[in-house]
Amino acid sequence: MPTIQWRSIMAVLTAALIVGTGTSISPPSIGTAVATASANIAGDLSETGPHLGFDTFAYPGDEAMHAWLTADKPYRWVGYYLSAPCHSDDSWEGKRDTLADMGWGMAVIYVGQQTWGRTPGQKVAVTRYITRRVKQTVKTKSGKRVTRYVNKRVPVKVLLVPRASAGSSCSAQFVNAERGVRDANDAIARTAAQGFANGTTIFLDIERMETVPRAMRDYYNAWTKRVLEDGRFKPGYYAHSHNADVVYRDVKQVLAASGISGDPPFWIASTQGFATDKDPSEVGHSFAQVWQGVLDVVETHNGVRLPIDVSVAQLPSPSENYSVGE
């Protein structure tokens, strides 16, 4: 149910009390009170969700963000990308205060390790060449056959766990519990460095997987546990609808082990049935707080053209207004 501000309620009650007590009041005064209350209620309802937001890879610039905030299309919040293992761009850094001063709500995003269609830790067959001493029978000039031993490189198939590329911070081979703790510490430090207040939700970006491997479940469970242990920020999750139920059940258990009974914030990606006036839970998951339903489009507002993904949220600032029930 939408929250209506007390000024609206009080205006209606005042008018009702005046009439109920028989106090002399002219009809225009009653009409004015009721009209004022109605206008306030309408204004308050327009401030309720769903709230339209967008995200884009790199920071568009201060002028662009101001132009979009004052455009006819009512975008209220924006995805705020932390520099992260799988999002190396750092153009959003240092922009929290600027965006807050403009009036933008924000959803803090941390793009952690991804599977990229692979099974982390799974061995694959590769060809290696080794040198072996092999027998070689040859004929001599006299017609006799003799056996000699020669060194020869021969191919063999071996099973290996692929390694991440040298210097890489983003690899399917980093998807494990140990890395989950490491990346949680990184996400916490970066969120604090950007000036976000205690209690801010950090959305861990978990891209779509056909199936969720055990290593990925270990990764985001460890990430969740570490964020909870630190206590400054709240864990949230960006996940595709295809994987959302699995992720939800897993992290719900981690929260329960920490004495938290409420649902964690989920940002669900799905284009099926999306509309900007729908509540996020209409994506098909009752725990959804944000619904991303338009991907990879380009929009122009106030003369500024941006490539974006479009979402709706229950709250005008998804990272800063959400609290998990204790």
**253-287 pLDDT per residue, tens:** 999 999 999 999 999 999 999 999 999 999 999 99
State the pLDDT confidence band at 156, using cuts at 50, 70 and 90.
Answer: low
pLDDT of res. 324: 52
Q: What is the mean pLDDT of the chain?
A: 82
Can you name the residues that pair with 87 across neighbouring β-strands?
Answer: 84
Instruction: Tell me what the mean pLDDT of segment 106-128 comes to.
Output: 74
pLDDT of res. 147: 73
Question: Model confidence over 5-59: pLDDT tens digits?
Answer: 333 334 433 333 333 444 443 444 444 443 443 333 333 334 567 999 999 999 9
Q: Is the pLDDT of residue 173 over 90?
A: yes
Q: What is the CA radius of gyration of the chain?
A: 29
Instruction: Tell me what the mean pLDDT of segment 65-74 comes to.
Output: 92
CA–CA dist 285, 268 (Å, integer)? 8
pLDDT of res. 117: 79
What secondary structure letter does DSSP report for 8? H
Can you name the residues that pair with 126 across neighbouring β-strands?
Answer: 158
Lowest-confidence region among 5-19, 108-122, 206-220: 5-19
State the pLDDT confidence band at 168, using cuts at 50, 70 and 90.
Answer: confident
State the pLDDT confidence band at 73, using cuts at 50, 70 and 90.
Answer: confident
State the pLDDT confidence band at 166, using cuts at 50, 70 and 90.
Answer: low
State the pLDDT confidence band at 321, using cuts at 50, 70 and 90.
Answer: low
Q: Is the pLDDT of residue 325 over 70?
A: no
> Which residue spans within the chain are E strands per DSSP?
51-55, 75-81, 105-111, 124-139, 145-160, 201-206, 234-240, 266-269, 288-301, 304-313
Q: Is the pLDDT of residue 232 over 80?
A: yes
Which 3 state secondary structure label does DSSP give 259? Answer: coil
State the pLDDT confidence band at 167, using cuts at 50, 70 and 90.
Answer: low
pLDDT of res. 47: 58
The amino acid at 97: D
Instruction: Tell me what the mean pLDDT of segment 182-188 comes to.
Output: 98
State the pLDDT confidence band at 316, using cuts at 50, 70 and 90.
Answer: very high
Q: Which letter, b or e, does each residue of 93-105 get, where b requires 16 or more Cβ atoms within 10 Å of its Cβ? A: eebbeebeeeebb
pLDDT of res. 19: 36
Percent of the chain with pLDDT over 90: 65
Instruction: Tell me what the mean pLDDT of segment 232-245 comes to.
Output: 98
pLDDT of res. 95: 98
State the pLDDT confidence band at 130, using cuts at 50, 70 and 90.
Answer: confident
Residue 155 CA, chain-centre distance (Å), reads: 45
49: left (phi over 0), alpha (psi -120 to 50) or beta: beta
Name which of 57, 71, 64, 51 is nearest 99 in CA terms. 64
pLDDT of res. 5: 38
